Amino acid sequence: MADCQLVAYRANGLNPIAIASQNPEKARAVAKRHEIDRAYDNYGELLNNSRVEVLDIAVPPDVQLSIIRDAVKHNDHIRGILAQKPLGMNLAEAQESVRLCREAGIELAVNQNMRFDHSVRACKDLLDRRLLGEPVLATIDMRGIPHWMPWQQRLGWVTLRIMSIHHLDTFRYWLGDPVRVFASVRPDPRTAKKFPHEDGICLYILEFANGARAMGCDDVWAGPALEGAESDIGIKWRVEGTEGIARGTIGWPSYPARTPSTIDYTTTAEKKWHSPRWEEAWFPDAFIGPMAELLIALEEKRKPCISGEDNLKTMALVDACYQSAREHRCIDL
């Protein structure tokens, strides 16, 4: 929140007016850094502030539902909620959050911020304009070593609900909803020394009704780079269509260094590579996307493209990956 969301909000002219944290001293320090008027000792006090119309919840998934339960009681002034992904511990919790907000008349959006990475969004534009023709195959290959949060050890999660959820949601964004998935996982040797888990290195294949296929490799081991070997870190993606190819990189793994994502594409019509570039990077610049989408949706009285209802399909896909890996079979969605 301090290094990405609030940086992006301030850079784009938004007006955060209050903040709260489990650690009040941290809340006050962040408020001072970002010139926020009020830092509360707890989120209950923040919810009572009638000036707060939109709530940005950035907490671990095992406590998010309880905050949403409290927040919907303040629907006299709260109009929208941007919730962190994953939207709860599982699909059932996500469904409960969606139900609570729907019944309270509060618009719920989910911070699936990879949809607003510049190369991901550019690829979506190519697909929407049919410049690539019919999609045939999409792939995302991640070799990265994330900074794991302490709460992940408490939950025993590593990759599927934390990293893969971005890529699974991106495949849905690009290609629509798959009809089945097959996943295979194994522990990350490095993280396994810290706490037990099943979803360290994750491989998955998505099948779509129109014949398209998608494949992801989320490798958070990435070889013994921290143990002395040279590193080979990065994220590459590729989308092949009947009339063109798009390929790109995601700059996130080098954060906090500013590394913009990239895209290159070629079509049968033009028979050459195009390579647009930009200065902005996913972290922190793309974090304006989810909040801006929620605010515009509120203004236009419509559902945001990252609505809680839409996100249930991403949560179902993540749960299906866990089931597939445990049962060693394809799962119909």
230-239 pLDDT, tens digit per residue, is 999 999 999 9
105: left (phi over 0), alpha (psi -120 to 50) or beta: left
Residue 81, domain member (yes or no): yes
Is pLDDT above 90 for 15? Answer: yes
Do 119 and 20 share a structural domain? no
Question: What tokens appear for 86 in the block?
Answer: 């994953």
Do 216 and 154 share a structural domain? yes
Instruction: Say what the alpha-carbon torsion angle 177, 178, 180, 184 is, to the nearest 10 degrees.
Output: -110
Residue 168, domain member (yes or no): yes
Do 256 and 160 share a structural domain? yes
Do 187 and 80 share a structural domain? no
Do 270 and 146 share a structural domain? yes
pLDDT digits (tens, 9 = 90+) for 183-196: 999 999 999 999 99
The total number of residues shown for the chain amounts to 333
Q: Work out how many domains the chain is built from and give that number.
A: 2
Q: Name the residue type at position 262.
A: T
**Predicted TM-score (pTM) of this structure:** 0.97
pLDDT digits (tens, 9 = 90+) for 138-165: 999 999 999 888 899 999 999 999 999 9
Residue 329, domain member (yes or no): no
CA 219 – CA 186 distance, rounded (Å): 10
Do 169 and 106 share a structural domain? no
Q: Are 135 and 211 in contact (CB under 8 A)?
A: no
**In terms of Cα–Cα distance, which of 88, 89, 47 is closest to 70?**
47
Q: What is the CATH number of the domain that holds 269?
A: 3.30.360.10
Do 223 and 147 share a structural domain? yes
Q: What is the CATH number of the domain that holds 48?
A: 3.40.50.720
Do 200 and 102 share a structural domain? no
> What per-residue confidence (pLDDT) applies to 306?
98
> What per-residue confidence (pLDDT) applies to 61?
96
331-332/273-274 β-pairing: unpaired
CA 163 – CA 149 distance, rounded (Å): 12
Is pLDDT above 90 for 311? Answer: yes
Do 184 and 54 share a structural domain? no
Residue 91, domain member (yes or no): yes
Do 140 and 71 share a structural domain? no
Range of the domain at 76: 5-111+303-307
